[in-house]
A and B are shown apart, each in its own frame.
Chain A
């Protein structure tokens, strides 16, 4: 290693990610129990309506973003062969981030929330979030401008894409007029507000749960396996068509609502199209492994990445499918969608971030992973937990949708809403069990990472994990 990298922020964000992961999952488990044991709504602060938002923000913004920033700062320096342009600013970023997330969690517990999904934070925190992204962007561009490596690798495109798109999305959807320090009203009304919100909502998934995660995939898979990405051309096509098409599709969250029909139809058409660029990356990943599939067994990280990209592939088939009018009529609003969400977040996002950490943390500390065996154990437990969770929700969602639609021969409805709630209790209980299994797997992962950070060096450096 000739270049001296500034990795304080990488480590800071990595630890932050682990912390918010535990918090967010505990809240997830709590609300999962509330779904079948409502007595757990002990106080206003612990009532489902408020806690669900803490869960989604805690994991999406807290864990997800921290993991993304950690890996981005890491990749950015290695791919440019340049230390961060402003290491002090990056430290400030870590502090500001954790302050903002802590305040966000507290304010959401207190019910200060705009109700717009994944944009619930009230306006003062919105300002904090914008500043935080600007701080990140300054370092990204600063480092890129100073870079030693002429060509920008694929992962850098995805990081740049995220940075630009998040700025546009976040600002446009959060335009609001303050009434007080803790209350504001959006500038859009009714149908327009819905349209903007889901344009934003879907693209948060696109530019936070997809773009940077693909950046990790394209960087860490070749690093972990020593195999170059199969096709550069395929990467280029996938990147640009994904960036182009994503923005057209928000309306698939609003199918059959009062939104003008043409917007729904356009959203549906582009959703179907999205399969192509999404699978571009999936195929690129699979083909990279061509001739070396034995690594699934011999290189423990390979299976994390390949399982992750596989769930990404399934997710991007399921998503467009459930946008189809007949299927959305059936599945929209049901627990099926909760299954979809968690396959993406547990199977793709966390799996890939975990794999990136397993690779990156030992490198940062110049040692080997604490235990490959535990890493394998965490892989299987996380996978099983996620499958129990998602498959249960899919089946439950089918039953729910069927009960909502069932009619007697004379045309009257067969089931009341309460019948359909009562029918879901068993599924919600099994979902909790799945969540618990998953949580155990995650705790093992976290333990493994923390032990790696703690243990003194044993002389091993960069090359060590290559073979592992």
Chain B
């Protein structure tokens, strides 16, 4: 009998069987295992607008520079937030975990900043971080959002919305971003051409999507973190109050981390003015420290894991120095 090295068809069949063994064990069988498709109540499908935003994220290839999984590594959790859970991706088709982290991970970006921050950043990343190498995406605000396929998309993905519901979601979101009370109105108007200001743009959709990523999981964690953190900071005094060297260091940190939102002179932009007397969350050392360390609900990020305790005090010393 001839060996398979003399019989091309037999050879090909054998080769197919050989490559199918590993395929079967490592990818086909897992398709049917619960551990690869866990379902949890708290994870909600994307709204039609968020989905359109996600499709723009895919179209522009954002995944070539941004990952969307936080790994269970201490410094990574400190930098980005809790590590990713398998159920969080139940509605992700395709998955967008990425393979290269040229920019930061985005798995926990939702709710980290206010909408205004994203409009400003997407429009011109270097206006906020001089050293960023991210492309500017201002042109997204100049393109109306195409929603003609939105319903069909949610249907293919099995999100279970009716056509009526999809229309409502789109109209609701349009009303939100075009309302005079929309907190990001100023910057949105600035970058959106007049004829599109009362319509949805691709920029609106991508901001909606960014605000969704990781948000469902964060909601489940909210109460826990807040409560724990406050207790730790009873009775606190700024050790650097009035020390010129520390104030200078605080200024540098402020310019790098805070000026994007609070303005280069701390007189406010996306975030509030820090040189006046209006302090929504109080202005004792302890209260300001908590605002910076834990963040505040309308978009102030929690800096506690990024800045050391000392650095936070120096920033506070700097802010205080502005008031006199």
Contacts and interface: CB of A to CB of B under 8 A. Distances in A.
Contact of B19 (A164, A193, A259): A164
B136 A152 contact: no
Contact of B99 (A256, A329, A333, A421): A333
Interface in A17-44: 34-36, 38, 41, 44
A52 B133 contact: no
Given A192-B37, A248-B25, A38 B132 contact: yes
A157 B21 contact: no
B308 A410 contact: yes
A113 B93 contact: no
A256 B75 CA distance: 14
A257 B79 contact: no
A467 interface: no
A165 B15 contact: yes
A190 B95 contact: yes
B75 A418 contact: no
A189 B76 CA distance: 25
Contacts of B75: 404-407, 413
A121 to B, nearest CB: 13
Contacts of A199: 23, 26-27
A235 B40 CA distance: 50
Nearest to B54: A115
Contacts of B84: 257-258
A222 B62 CA distance: 46
B135 A256 contact: no
Contacts of A111: 59-61
Contacts of A248: 22, 25-26
Contacts, number: 259
Contacts of B18: 240, 243-244
A164 to B, nearest CB: 5
Contact of A266 (B20, B25, B137, B156): B25
A243 B67 CA distance: 31
Interface residues of A, number: 93
B65 to A, nearest CB: 7
A193 B126 contact: no
A29 B137 CA distance: 22
A179 B97 contact: no
B100 A337 contact: yes
A402 to B, nearest CB: 11
Interface stretch (B6-14, B167-175, B281-289, B313-321): B6-14
B22 A270 contact: yes
B8 A144 contact: yes
A334 interface: yes
Of B26, B62, B63, B129, most buried by chain A (CB within 10 Å of CB) is B26
Interface stretch (A88-96, A180-188, A300-308, A430-438): A180-188
A253 B99 contact: yes
B19 A168 contact: yes
Contacts of A338: 100
Of A270, A338, A413, A422, most buried by chain B (CB within 10 Å of CB) is A413
A151 B89 CA distance: 50
Interface in A318-371: 329, 332-334, 337-338
B86 A258 contact: yes
Nearest to B150: A179
B309 interface: yes
Contacts of A258: 69, 84-86, 88-89
A223 interface: no
Interface stretch (B28-36, B108-116, B192-200): B28-36
Contacts of B12: 141, 160, 163-164
B306 A416 contact: yes
Given A151-B5, A405-B75, A117 B99 contact: yes
Contact of B11 (A152, A260, A263): A152
A195 B27 contact: yes
Contact of B89 (A35, A150, A190, A246): A190
A50 B26 contact: no
Given A190-B37, A258-B89, A141 B9 contact: yes
A53 interface: yes
A48 interface: yes
Given A168-B16, A190-B37, A418-B129, A50 B60 contact: yes
A238 interface: no
A245 B97 CA distance: 25
A49 B64 contact: yes
Given A41-B135, A49-B135, A141-B8, A260 B33 contact: yes
A47 B101 contact: no
B121 to A, nearest CB: 12
A179 to B, nearest CB: 5
Contacts of A36: 133
B106 to A, nearest CB: 11
B31 A192 contact: yes
B216 to A, nearest CB: 13
Given A34-B135, A338-B100, A115 B63 contact: yes
B32 to A, nearest CB: 10
Contacts of A138: none
B94 A115 contact: yes
B67 A49 contact: no
B73 A256 contact: yes
Interface in A274-298: none
Interface in B30-64: 30-31, 33, 35-37, 55, 58-64
Contacts of A408: 308
A161 interface: yes
A62 interface: no
A179 B151 CA distance: 10
B99 to A, nearest CB: 7
A78 interface: no
A246 B310 CA distance: 51
B36 A260 contact: yes
A193 B27 CA distance: 10
A16 interface: no
A191 interface: yes
A38 B156 contact: no
A179 B129 CA distance: 38
B22 A412 contact: no
Interface string A232-265: 0000000010011111111101101111100100
A197 interface: yes
A421 B135 contact: no
A139 interface: no
A421 B305 CA distance: 19
30 contacts: A35-B133, A48-B64, A49-B60, A49-B64, A117-B99, A157-B15, A160-B8, A160-B15, A161-B15, A168-B16, A172-B27, A180-B149, A185-B153, A189-B37, A190-B91, A192-B30, A193-B95, A194-B95, A195-B27, A199-B23, A267-B26, A333-B67, A338-B100, A404-B76, A410-B308, A412-B305, A412-B306, A412-B309, A421-B102, A422-B131
Those 5 A-B pairs whose CB atoms lie nearest each other, nearest first: A49-B61, A190-B89, A247-B22, A41-B135, A333-B101
Given A47-B60, A189-B90, A404-B79, 12 more contacts: A44-B60, A48-B65, A48-B135, A49-B63, A50-B60, A53-B64, A111-B60, A180-B152, A186-B94, A189-B92, A195-B30, A421-B103
